[in-house]
Amino acid sequence: MLTRFFAAVALNIALGAALAASPALSAPRGQSAAAPLSAEDRAAVTQAEQALNAVHTLQSKFVQLNPDGRQAGGTFYLSRPGKMRLEYDAPVKDFIVADGLFLFYWDSEMKQQSSTPIGSTLADFILRPDIKLSGDVTVTDVFRAQGVLEITLVETKDPRKGSLTLVFEDRPLQLRKWRVLDAQGLTTEVALLNPRVGVPLSSDLFYFKAPASRQEHGG
């Protein structure tokens, strides 16, 4: 059951699935109508867009803090446009792969995969060739502290589903953390540890293969 718990949270974290698939409930705390952004806020959003668009490949270890206080670690891979992979450290064997068209989730306990078009998840906005923090996502809050910029997003068509907060480290501006607040008001956070940008990544990382298939082919 532990692996399935982590996998469910992984879907929320890596894909924003809580925003794209959760039933619309009452708005979570802090999810009131967004106030108009100031000129300074809009400039910060533009800088965040530029920082995200500058990243074409990324590999990073991560630490995930779940709503019940449990932690998990793993490795996150990103290859824009369209591709990502999230896999946990042992003993958790579930993983998620986006291959450019579909997003696949491997349930190691059930030994089966499920998939959905990338465009049906909030992950789509960060995997696009041109990332825009507008349109089908809406910025509801911009927060600054010393050396930190936080930008909170909701799904424009239904902000009650939850929110995704991107946390950037300043100077230079780099994505270091994200938080998902789901429709039930539960928060899950992922922090990137020493992310490496611009690294070569094998295309095999972004091709879904069930673990049995990899073993059969000697992978």
Residues above pLDDT 70, as percent of the chain: 80
pTM (two decimals): 0.79
Task: Tell whether the model's pLDDT for residue 102 goes beyond 60.
Answer: yes
Residue 177 belongs to domain with CATH number: 2.50.20.10
Query: What would the mean pLDDT of 151-179 be, rounded to a whole number?
Result: 88
Whether residue 104 is contained in a domain is answered as yes
Question: Domain total for the chain?
Answer: 1
The verdict on residue 214 lying in a domain is no
User: Distance between CA 161 and CA 5 in Å, rounded?
Assistant: 20
Structural domain range at position 173: 2-197
* Least confident range of 9-23, 57-71, 155-169: 9-23
Kindly list the distances between the CA atom of residue 161 and the CA atoms of 19, 30, 164, 173, in Å, as whole numbers in the listed order. 5, 12, 10, 28
From CA 96, how far away is CA 130, in angstroms rounded?
Answer: 23
Whether residue 34 is contained in a domain is answered as yes
User: Half-sphere exposure of 14 toward its Cβ, with a 13 Å CA cutoff?
Assistant: 28
